[in-house]
Chains A and B, each alone.
Chain A
Amino acid sequence: MNPYNLSAADLDALREFGNIGAGHAATAFSTLLGGVVRMSVTDARLCRFAEVVDVVGGSDTLVVAVYIRIEGEIAGNMFVVLSTDSAERLVDELIPGREHGDPYGEMEYSALGEIGNILSGAYVAAISDLCGFRMAQSIPAVAIDMASALLDIGLMYGSGEDNQVLLISTRLTHGGREIQAYFFLLPDFQSASKLFDTLRGKMPSG
């Protein structure tokens, strides 16, 4: 039996965890972008790593991915994935005077890295709040390419054949623009059961 088969109550609780993270992120984004930023969790669940690629649009779909490594009481790989359209809207907002459609330079990559950093930081904080684990994040690495080419690095640490991934999809609204962002946490093999069991145990309705 799959130890991570979740009940309906567990899934609700996982969504609640997503909401806590999104709350942290919305606050940080409001400061960064100015004005009101609303974030809603559109999906929160555990899935197989293979499904992740489908969630973001298929294996050879061009996407923007930010990779962040976490170490500490929980170790793992995190990705924030944006569609190229969402990424374009974000960099247009973040970089004043930028012409829509300009090729990405250092500024754009750095802005996208910061977005990834904020979003993953918000979820790391949510995990810390709920479970009390201490973790440190690496600096973000940004790349734009085919989805599965970017995400395959996530499998390198966790050698389990059926790796479980925590997936949180969020929608961010700011000044009438909508941005869809996906957050994935793939804990290392040794950290997976520790994290998922603790999360389930801590979940208010689980």
Chain B
Amino acid sequence: MGIAEGAVMCGPGRLVTTGLGSCVGVVIYDAEGHVAGLAHVMLPESPSPDTKAPHKYADTAIDWLIREIVRAGGSPLRLRAKYAGGAQMFQGVKMETLRIGERNAEAVQKQLADRGIPVAGRDVGGHQGRTLWFEMPSCILTVRTARGDIRVL
């Protein structure tokens, strides 16, 4: 899955997104219903609610995930979330844009809280890019950095 894309899966399998920098990879899942979705969020807020690219923004991406998961048979009451990303890749330069990672991670946290979705794991911030994959039925989110460090959420 590439930048600003999203996908939903039913049953056993794996959702993968590579090379997250300031972007945040958000997984929402229903472990019992075996439905999970992943969105590669690029920006904190959508310019309008009916954007053509809902996966791109934290607010619309989370609504999109919930809607698609429920449509695929997931229960809105059993939803949990895991997310990772939101790094600041370039250091030493004081530019507001370069802090977008932090703002993305904050926006994801807020949007999930507003919709009452408990967060089961997260790995955000820092200065390294991340590749991540989510597996079903284990519901494990694995995060790997360019230096080969692996974190399991």
Contact = CB atoms under 8 A, between A and B. Distances in A.
Contact of B129 (A141, A146, A157, A159): A146
Interface residues of B, number: 29
Interface string B84-114: 0001011111010110100000000000000
B22 interface: yes
Interface size class of A (residues with CB under 8 A): 20 to 34
A146 B18 contact: yes
Identify whether the interface residues of A are mostly helix, strand, loop, or mixed: mixed
Contacts of B8: none
A157 B93 contact: no
Interface in B111-140: 127-131
A79 to B, nearest CB: 10
A69 B21 CA distance: 18
Interface string B1-43: 0110000000000000011111100000000000000000011
Interface stretch (A8-16, A88-96, A147-155): A147-155
A138 interface: yes
Contacts of B2: 50, 59, 148
Interface of A: 50, 53, 59-60, 62, 67, 69, 138-139, 141-153, 155-157, 159, 161
